[in-house]
Amino acid sequence: MRGAWVLLLLIEEGFALAQKTKEPQKAPEPAKTPPKLGHCGTWTRNPDGGEFSSPNYPNTYPPNQECVFILEAYPRKRIELVFDELYYIESSFECRFDNIEIRDGPFVFSPLINRFCGAQSPGVVTSSGRFMWIKFTSDEELEGLGFRVTYTFPIDPDFHLHVGGLLNPIPDCQFEMSGAEGLIRSSQVEEENKVKLDEAVDCIWIIRAPPKSKIYLRFLDYQMENTNECKKNFVAVYDGSSAIEDLKAKFCSTVATDIMLDSEVGVVRMWADEGSRLSRFRMLFTTFAEPPCSPSAFFCHNNMCINSSLVCNGVQNCVFPWDESNCKEKKSRGFFQQMSRTHVTVICASTGVVALLLSISIVVQLRQPRKKVLVRRPLFTRQEPQEPPHYELFSLQGRERHPPPDLAELAEELEAFQKLRRSSSRCVREHHCGVDTPTRQSSLELGSGRGRKARPARLSSAHSLGEEPCGHGDDSDEEEQMRALQHRVMEKVGGEGFAHGRRSASIDF
pLDDT at 103 over 80: yes
* Residue that wins the pLDDT comparison between 77 and 485: 77
What pLDDT is recorded for position 168? 62
Give me the amino acid identity at 134. Answer: I
Contacts of residue 142, defined as CB under 8 A and 6 or more positions apart, other chains included, come to 90, 97, 98
What pLDDT is recorded for position 242? 85
Among 53-62, 154-163, 309-318, 442-451, the least confident range: 442-451
Over residues 203-256, the pLDDT tens digits come to: 999 999 999 899 999 999 999 999 988 888 999 999 988 888 888 999 999 999
Average pLDDT of the residues in 451-478: 44
Q: How far apart are alpha carbons 115 and 278 in whole angstroms? A: 38
Please provide the average confidence, as pLDDT, over all residues in the chain: 75
Burial of 96: CB neighbours in 10 Å, binned 0-12, 13-18, 19+:
exposed
What pLDDT is recorded for position 29? 39
Model confidence band, residue 19 (pLDDT cutoffs 50, 70, 90): very low
CA distances from 430 to 138, 243, 355, 425, 470 (A): 154, 140, 104, 9, 11
Helix (H) or strand (E) holding 234: strand 233-239
CA distances from 214 to 177, 217, 218, 287, 304 (A): 14, 10, 14, 6, 9
* Residue that wins the pLDDT comparison between 498 and 93: 93
* Residue that wins the pLDDT comparison between 242 and 455: 242
Average pLDDT of the residues in 386-394: 51
Q: How far apart are alpha carbons 111 and 260 in whole angstroms? A: 25
pLDDT at 406 over 80: no
* Residue that wins the pLDDT comparison between 503 and 120: 120
Q: Highest mean pLDDT range out of 17-26, 214-223, 322-331, 435-444?
A: 214-223
494: left (phi over 0), alpha (psi -120 to 50) or beta: left
**Helices H / strands E in the chain, number of each:** 7, 22
Q: How far apart are alpha carbons 480 and 485 in whole angstroms? A: 9
Model confidence band, residue 39 (pLDDT cutoffs 50, 70, 90): very low
10: left (phi over 0), alpha (psi -120 to 50) or beta: alpha
Average pLDDT of the residues in 134-146: 88
Judge contact between 79 and 131, C-beta under 8 A: yes
Q: How far apart are alpha carbons 507 and 509 in whole angstroms? A: 7
Model confidence band, residue 379 (pLDDT cutoffs 50, 70, 90): low
Give me the amino acid identity at 142. Answer: L
Over residues 59-72, the pLDDT tens digits come to: 899 988 899 999 98
Domains in the chain, CATH or no CATH each:
43-152 (2.60.120.290), 174-288 (2.60.120.290), 395-506 (no CATH)
SS3 per-residue string spanning 383-405? CCCCCCCCCCCCEEECCCCCCCH
* Residue that wins the pLDDT comparison between 32 and 424: 424
pLDDT at 476 over 50: yes
Over residues 302-360, the pLDDT tens digits come to: 889 999 999 998 899 999 988 888 887 654 555 666 667 788 888 999 999 999 999 99
pLDDT at 499 over 80: no
Say whether 280 sits in a helix, a strand or coil. Answer: strand
CA distances from 103 to 119, 339, 344, 345 (A): 21, 65, 71, 73
What pLDDT is recorded for position 480? 74
18: left (phi over 0), alpha (psi -120 to 50) or beta: alpha
Q: Residue 432 gets which letter from DSSP?
A: -
Q: How far apart are alpha carbons 89 and 63 in whole angstroms? A: 12
Among 11-20, 88-97, 253-262, the least confident range: 11-20
Judge contact between 130 and 75, C-beta under 8 A: yes
Average pLDDT of the residues in 406-416: 72
Q: How far apart are alpha carbons 250 and 135 in whole angstroms? A: 20
Q: How far apart are alpha carbons 70 and 90 in whole angstroms? A: 23
DSSP per-residue codes, 304-355: -EEEGGGTTSSS--SSSGGGGTTPPPPPPP-HHHH--HHHHHHHHHHHHHHH
Alpha helices of 95-208 — where are they, by DSSP H?
A: 188-191
* Residue that wins the pLDDT comparison between 393 and 428: 428
Over residues 482-497, the pLDDT tens digits come to: 777 767 766 665 544 4
Instruction: Give the whole-number percent of the chain exceeding pLDDT 70.
Output: 64
Number of C-beta neighbours around residue 459 at 10 A: 17
Judge contact between 49 and 76, C-beta under 8 A: no
* Residue that wins the pLDDT comparison between 5 and 509: 5
Model confidence band, residue 411 (pLDDT cutoffs 50, 70, 90): confident
Contacts of residue 235, defined as CB under 8 A and 6 or more positions apart, other chains included, come to 222, 224, 250, 251, 252, 256, 268, 269, 270, 271, 281
Average pLDDT of the residues in 450-478: 44
Among 34-48, 187-201, 465-479, the least confident range: 465-479
Average pLDDT of the residues in 159-164: 57
